[in-house]
Chains A and B, each alone.
Chain A
Amino acid sequence: MSTNELNLPDFNIPSELDGKVAITTLDRVYNFGRRSSIWPMMFGLACCAIEMIAAQAARYDMARFGMEVMRPSPRQSDVMIVAGTVTKKMVPAIVRLYNQMPEPKYVVAMGACASGGGPFKEGYNVVAGIDKFLPVDVYVPGCPPTPQALVAGMIKLQEKIDKQSISKVRWYQKGGDSVEVAVPFLGPDLIDPRRIPEIKAKAAELATPSAQNAPEK
């Protein structure tokens, strides 16, 4: 980072110390470190994963922005790029992977499927977007997004990181432990544990004769 980026403009540094001393805030240094080494999880679901690999390869070279270290283990990664269609059979594993990531952690939904189901939304085994389960930071549109689009999305994530403050981030708050999402499980259909009471009430309501006679739509 050049001194100009790091320095706060309000402080004048004597010319003999120029380039040797910088006066800045803790937030800036902290965020600079984090945003310059975002390690994505090596985790591809579908077609978008191939464009994610292409973005890592020579021509697009995400390493220029400090995002080249793909980690196969969630324990070592900072950002989960959900690259592809999320299916009901796969979503328990994805949520478990997210829970295993240490804070600070981010989620990028890459492509139409991960953002909202995409062309496969109507399918019986498809989850209409990973944001039904995980908090998404950046959505990258496209089917699949080009490598440029993914790089642009990751730069947006960097901008988001730049705006965070060490005194306010949730992982340094009192009692603010790592965010855990309840892992959905596979029953007769996908069951989200957070919605069990709701599902129970609705199923009971549908079982009453009046609901069966009433038009559905």
Chain B
Amino acid sequence: MESTHKSNMATPVLTETIDLAAKFPGRVTPDARPGYSGWMVAKEALVEVSTAIRDELGYDLLSNVTGVDYPEQSKLEVVYHVYKTTGGPALTFKTQTERVDPAEVPSLVSVWPGAELQEREAWDMFGIKFTGHPDLRRILMWEGFEGFPMRKDYKEPFHEEDNKPLKSRWPEGKHSYAEARNPYGDNIMFKPGFDPEKWTPTDPEEALYAALKKYKTEEKDGIKTDHIIVNMGPQHPSTHGVFRAVVVLDGETIVSLKPVMGYLHRNHEKIGERNTFLQNVPYTDRLDYFNSMYNAWPYALAVEKLMGLKVPERAEYIRVIMGELSRIQNHLILFGMLWNDLGAYFTPALYAFEERELILDIYEAVAGSRMMCNYQRFGGVVRDIDEANMKKIKDLVFERLPRKIEEFDRLLSENEIFVARMKGIGYLSPEDAVAYSVTGPTLRAAGIPYDIRRADPYGIYDRFEFDIPVRHNSDLLDRYLVRVDEIRQCLRILQQAVKQIPEGPFLAGKPQYQVRVPAGEVYGRVEAPKGELGFYVISTGKGNPYRYHIRTPSFINITSVEKMCVGTKIADFVTILGMVDIVLGELDR
């Protein structure tokens, strides 16, 4: 069974050079700012150029859309990173608009539907208005919130200084509470003269309900029927956190669905731009809190690329070992929670947690914390794996885990009820999957063997022998089976890695609190357990990132949920959402 469902995708070698400037004279120019790369597209030609990039050059996967604010040049910029699903490096293009209200840029939803939520985010955070966007509303903050928080001139109510590290509080030794700095004594800010009594509340939900698909009530056989709107979340046991979905139901069938998010919007990016480069590492742990070992990797990759750091051999191996262990426990938890959602309450989850605890034990021994490991550094990792822990890892990857995965598979995968609930549900065509920028196991279950470990290898993944599991039915069952196969491949990688790991230093240079990062922009990405995780970092050569954007798989994969759900039953929505594998820390950031 296993052998028929894998792909030996080879890493492509890019031979062609793309000269967009010659192709679109006058409308596209190379981005000549020092440290920057890619192309600057005139915003009038954006849709035309991107259609050509997609159709003629074959960049079918829009990975990342984000805004950047340049108040000194009075410009707002939108950055796009596109990839080919056949592999290879990114094509980066940008467009600029005047920093006036409203700052308008044409929407690319018609070219890449996966831009939908990302453009809404850029509108919410930067106030960039995407003309032609079908549903441009605030996404992380609420409708009616004042200000665009990611603009450089926006100051939070608890703002202390523009950049960290904060000024020393010594020698006077005085400290103050953040509350004391704010005139309202709390984390709130209102315009001078604001009167809450005279303020007429505008319903923040109104725009949301207006965005749902319109429906007609009808009369069938003398019985009047109507559609109903159901709110699932933000407190709902099956949404895996504080996610909310508004669904329009016809009987039990889903007619329309809108995801609502931002209930865990913790301002990672704003805080990240005040932090120093190193201070962001522990924050990355709290993005996808199941996989703190994996999250800092793309960030470290990005900053290392700017700094030109070479990671020592041993550290590369440690990253792979920790990362792949993380992928195993992520998928195990997903299976446990999936069975919870299906009604097998908690027993499979207990099996999953049993194995997870063993992996967390290793994390705790190596990094000092079970969940928030804070383990990656620029140029390596913070601590070595000692002999005793290495033995624990070996026992796990050679003895226990292979046995347990087969046990899991044998116990659960062919259960009749399970298969009945999973087979043929939540179909997403491969074309749609790519168009909606879906990455990770969901994309591979649609028959597209796109795994960044192969498509654009990072670290030392090009040294290991492993397959990319692929399935072709693109339903829930296939998404589950792809993950089961993926765990087996993780074990293969791990077995090679623990055999090959060399002795030597685990951190390049000596540990330092404040790193010097040369000016420039960089996009680092990895195949995280949930999909493509990327960090877009701009440095100006100072101690803090000028722009720190996180492209998270949960957030972007959720774009396709409506497509998967329409036509299925409300009970299936729970499972479909579960199999997208969202985690709220990463979804809302």
A200 to B350, CA, bound (A): 52
> A123–B353 contact, CB under 8 A?
no
Q: Does B179 interact with chain A (Cβ within 8 Å)?
A: yes
Q: Does A158 interact with chain B (Cβ within 8 Å)?
A: no
> B263–A123 contact, CB under 8 A?
no
Q: Does B192 interact with chain A (Cβ within 8 Å)?
A: yes
> B196–A59 contact, CB under 8 A?
no
Q: Does B371 interact with chain A (Cβ within 8 Å)?
A: yes
Please report A residues at the B interface, Cβ cutoff 8 Å. 42-47, 49-51, 53-54, 57-59, 72, 84-85, 87-90, 93, 97, 117, 119-128, 132, 143-144, 146, 185-192, 195-196, 198-200, 202-204, 206-207, 211-212, 216-217
> A189–B270 contact, CB under 8 A?
no
Inside 8 A of A121's CB, which chain B residues have their CB?
158, 178, 187
A186 to B205, CA, bound (A): 11
| A-B residue pairs, 8 tightest by C-beta | A123-B267, A207-B193, A207-B192, A57-B353, A47-B289, A188-B146, A206-B192, A72-B237
Q: Does B370 interact with chain A (Cβ within 8 Å)?
A: yes
> B188–A190 contact, CB under 8 A?
yes
Chain A residue with minimal CB distance to B360? A54
Q: Within the complex, which residue of A58, A196, A202, A211 is in contact with B353, where a contact is CB–CB below 8 Å?
A: A58
- Given A58-B353, A121-B158, A189-B146, answer yes or no on A126-B187 (Cβ-Cβ < 8 Å): yes
A46 to B283, CA, bound (A): 13
Inside 8 A of A199's CB, which chain B residues have their CB?
184, 188, 190, 194, 196
Q: Does B127 interact with chain A (Cβ within 8 Å)?
A: no
- Given A58-B350, A126-B267, answer yes or no on A200-B286 (Cβ-Cβ < 8 Å): no
Inside 8 A of B242's CB, which chain A residues have their CB?
44-45, 90
Q: Within the complex, which residue of A44, A120, A187, A188 is in contact with B266, where a contact is CB–CB below 8 Å?
A: A120
Q: Within the complex, which residue of B192, B196, B241, B270 is in contact with A123, where a contact is CB–CB below 8 Å?
A: B270
Size category, B interface = 35 or more
The residues in B between 182 and 199 inclusive whose CB is less than 8 angstroms from any CB of A are 183-184, 186-197, 199
Please report B residues at the A interface, Cβ cutoff 8 Å. 140-142, 144-146, 149, 154, 156-160, 178-179, 181, 183-184, 186-197, 199, 201, 204, 234-237, 241-242, 262-267, 270-271, 274, 282-283, 286, 289-290, 349-350, 353-354, 356-357, 370-372, 584-585
Other than the given A44-B241, A46-B286, A125-B140, 12 more pairs (CB < 8 A) read A43-B235, A51-B370, A87-B265, A90-B234, A93-B263, A119-B271, A127-B187, A128-B187, A186-B142, A188-B146, A195-B186, A198-B184
A57 to B235, CA, bound (A): 21
> B267–A202 contact, CB under 8 A?
no
> B178–A122 contact, CB under 8 A?
yes
> A47–B585 contact, CB under 8 A?
yes
Inside 8 A of B190's CB, which chain A residues have their CB?
188-189, 199, 203
Quote the shortest CB–CB distance from B298 to chain A (angstroms). 19
Quote the shortest CB–CB distance from B535 to chain A (angstroms). 18
A199 to B182, CA, bound (A): 12
Chain B residue with minimal CB distance to A199? B196
